Amino acid sequence: MAPADTLRAFYTACNKRQYAKAERLVTKDSLQRLASMGTPANLGTYCDDLTEKGTLKRLDILDEAVQGEAAVVRFKFRYESGGVDEGSDRLLRRNGIWEVELMQTGAGASKLP
């Protein structure tokens, strides 16, 4: 699966509130960062915030850049409310599988090395 496909699968699972499925598509480091924030910061809350509680109507992939074991995917969300939001996420390939890196921090966030 390409990085953009993984990202699409992640946000589709989030939008459908299939949090266990979404969890399998993110890095363990991401889950640890969410857990360290404590309640109510968890993957479900994160997903609900980004999808406006499951009202994501469409996800457009704008660009995908891959360099080695890292990728950055730029995207545009379109919500049922008519709202639009653009962003980018970094993905890492671990054991041949692309995983979404949530809540990146520092200079490397959403950028290729």
Render pLDDT for 38-81 as a digit per residue (tens, 0 to 9): 655 689 999 999 999 999 999 999 999 999 999 999 999 999 99
Taking a C-beta distance cutoff of 8 angstroms, is the pair 56, 76 a contact?
Answer: no
Tokens representing 111? Answer: 């950028």
Q: Tell me how far apart the alpha carbons of residues 86 and 96 are, in angstroms, rounded to a whole number.
A: 28
Taking a C-beta distance cutoff of 8 angstroms, is the pair 43, 34 a contact?
Answer: yes
Render pLDDT for 73-108 as a digit per residue (tens, 0 to 9): 999 999 999 999 999 999 999 999 999 999 765 444
Q: pTM for the whole thing?
A: 0.88
